[in-house]
Amino acid sequence: MNIQWYPGHMTKTRRQIEADLKLVDMVVEIIDARIPISSRNPDIDQLVGDKPRLVVLNRCDQADPGTNRIWSEYFKSKGCTVLETDAKTGTGINRFSQVVQTALKDQIARWREKGQVGRPVRAMVVGVPNVGKSTFINKIARRKSAKAGDRPGVTRGKQWVNVDSTLDLLDTPGILWPKFEDELTGMHLAFTGAVKDDIMDVETLGCHLMCFMSDRYPEALTTAYKLADLPKREEEDNDIAYGYRLLQAAAQKRGMRISGGDVDTERMARVLLDEYRGGKLGRFTLELPEDQQGRGCANA
Ligand SMILES: Nc1nc2c(ncn2[C@@H]2O[C@H](COP(=O)(O)OP(=O)(O)OP(=O)(O)O)[C@@H](O)[C@H]2O)c(=O)[nH]1
Ligand SMILES: [Mg+2]
């Protein structure tokens, strides 16, 4: 699979982030609770260095609730400060201010000693495209200051948002990294909508998502596509071949046909991806902490 996913403007953004880091007291790294491994940019560690960092597990409403807890505990065990949020409705957002004040309490005490009373905390919000950075900032600021939208690449330049006298947030465009270490990372970022669909064959994506769902959440498939049983996986089936069988079965049930009578697996793949992203199939997490083994992108 050849994924061209590093547009030129991201090089510029990366440089901008590097320069702006000097202006901020902490970094808020927003990750997608459905893919906490793939949505962590391995470059961020190097960029952020020793700056205090808060990991926000956003889109918790779309992820498996039990797994959200497992990931929170995991990040805490690594010494990270973690916040679980649903930026769309605002769940978890009201804890942000307190979490920031606690994470920076030594720094704030030092400012006070130096007479810098009332200096606002400046935090930079970073993450992969479409993870919910701008929506998160708007919820915290309680107004729509930053432009947000249901596709990757909405935020084009940096933007400061003044929340109140204690806090300023810096919105940044989503960034990816020039090279991904494994195919799964690219696929998972495409399933969740962090990279645009047109960079990958949609039917291949659909086959992989079907196959994954049949393995970890089979009842969701039998329910959504009214399948009494999932088709049997033959010994010679690789993931794509079996996923294709599942796409065919679902398309058959939904009555999706192309002229000539064959089932329309491409349309089914699009529908599956839309339904997954829209949460219509349920709440699923694609990655667990133990899945990090052998993944080059693990950097918790
Ligand atoms: N269900 C759900 N949707 C969310 C959540 N956070 C953001 N969204 C939606 O996801 C879409 C993307 O949100 P943005 O805030 O534009 O994402 P972004 O990270 O700023 O994206 P870029 O600027 O393109 O990098 C919007 O349609 C939001 O309403 C969440 O926690 N749950
Ligand atoms: Mg944005």
DSSP-assigned letter for residue 232: P
Q: Establish if 298 belongs to a structural domain.
A: no
In angstroms, rounded to a whole number, what is the distance separating the alpha carbons of residues 232 and 82? 41
Region of poorest pLDDT, from 86-95, 143-152, 289-298: 289-298
Nearest C-alpha to atom 13 of ligand 1 is from which residue?
Answer: 132
Q: Establish if 2 belongs to a structural domain.
A: no
- Nearest one of 137, 207, 127 to 173, comparing CA atoms: 127
CA-91 nearest atom, ligand 1: 31
Q: Establish if 192 belongs to a structural domain.
A: no
pLDDT tens digit sequence for 105-142: 999 999 999 999 889 999 999 999 999 999 999 999 99
Please indicate, yes or no, whether residues 33 and 174 belong to a single structural domain of this protein: yes
Asked if 237 and 220 touch (Cβ cutoff 8 Å), the reply is: no
DSSP-assigned letter for residue 253: H
CATH of the domain at 272: 1.10.1580.10
158 C-alpha to center of ligand 2: Å? 9
Please indicate, yes or no, whether residues 69 and 160 belong to a single structural domain of this protein: yes
* Cα-based angle 207, 190, 237 (whole degrees, multiple of 5): 20
Q: Which residue has the tokens 């667990």?
A: 288
Please indicate, yes or no, whether residues 174 and 255 belong to a single structural domain of this protein: no
Helices (H), 21-95: 42-48, 65-77
Asked if 105 and 99 touch (Cβ cutoff 8 Å), the reply is: no
| Ligand 1 close to Cβ of residue 92 (< 6 A) | no
What's the Cα-to-Cα distance from 167 to each of 105, 109, 172, rounded to whole Å? 14, 16, 16
pLDDT tens digit sequence for 184-208: 888 999 999 998 877 678 999 999 9
Residue 298 has pLDDT above 70, yes or no: no
Helices (H), the chain: 9-20, 42-48, 65-77, 96-103, 105-113, 133-141, 183-191, 202-216, 218-224, 239-254, 265-277
Please indicate, yes or no, whether residues 17 and 143 belong to a single structural domain of this protein: yes
CA-155 nearest atom, ligand 1: 23
Give residue 56's identity as a one-letter amino acid code.
V
Residue ending a domain, choose from 146, 178, 210: 178
Please indicate, yes or no, whether residues 27 and 157 belong to a single structural domain of this protein: yes
Among 57, 88, 189, the mutation site with the greatest number of ligand 1 atoms within 8 A of its Cβ is: 88
How far is CA 286 from its chain centroid?
11
Please indicate, yes or no, whether residues 65 and 152 belong to a single structural domain of this protein: yes
| Ligand 1 close to Cβ of residue 150 (< 6 A) | yes
Q: Are strands 53-58 and 159-164 parallel, antiparallel or unpaired?
A: unpaired
| Ligand 1 close to Cβ of residue 155 (< 6 A) | yes
Please indicate, yes or no, whether residues 174 and 44 belong to a single structural domain of this protein: yes
CA-130 nearest atom, ligand 1: 21
- Looking at the structure of the chain, the number of domains it has is 2
The structure's pTM equals: 0.93
In angstroms, rounded to a whole number, what is the distance separating the alpha carbons of residues 294 and 300? 14
Q: Establish if 68 belongs to a structural domain.
A: yes
**Which ligand is closest to the CA of 30, given by its number?**
1
| Ligand 1 close to Cβ of residue 87 (< 6 A) | yes
Q: Establish if 189 belongs to a structural domain.
A: no
Please indicate, yes or no, whether residues 55 and 15 belong to a single structural domain of this protein: yes
User: Residue 49 CB: number of other CB atoms within 10 A?
Assistant: 9
Asked if 11 and 41 touch (Cβ cutoff 8 Å), the reply is: no
**pLDDT value for 300:** 40
**pLDDT value for 200:** 78
Residue 278 has pLDDT above 50, yes or no: yes
Please indicate, yes or no, whether residues 121 and 206 belong to a single structural domain of this protein: no
Domain that holds residue 103: 9-178
CATH of the domain at 30: 3.40.50.300
Among 130, 138, 195, 274, the mutation site with the greatest number of ligand 1 atoms within 8 A of its Cβ is: 130
Q: Establish if 262 belongs to a structural domain.
A: yes
Please indicate, yes or no, whether residues 129 and 208 belong to a single structural domain of this protein: no
**pLDDT value for 48:** 87
| Ligand 1 close to Cβ of residue 148 (< 6 A) | yes
Q: Establish if 244 belongs to a structural domain.
A: yes
**pLDDT value for 287:** 95
Please indicate, yes or no, whether residues 34 and 156 belong to a single structural domain of this protein: yes
CA-85 nearest atom, ligand 1: 31
Nearest C-alpha to atom 3 of ligand 1 is from which residue?
Answer: 88
Instruction: Bin 127: left if φ > 0, else alpha if -120 < ψ < 50, else beta.
Output: left
Q: Establish if 161 belongs to a structural domain.
A: yes
**Which ligand is closest to the CA of 148, given by its number?**
1
Q: Report residue 96 as tokens.
A: 């942000």
In terms of Cβ atoms closer than 10 Å to its own Cβ (0-12, 13-18, 19+), residue 214 is buried
Please indicate, yes or no, whether residues 162 and 206 belong to a single structural domain of this protein: no
Tell me the residue ranges of DSSP E strands in 79-146: 81-84, 121-127
Residue 157 has pLDDT above 90, yes or no: yes
In angstroms, rounded to a whole number, what is the distance separating the alpha carbons of residues 214 and 242? 10
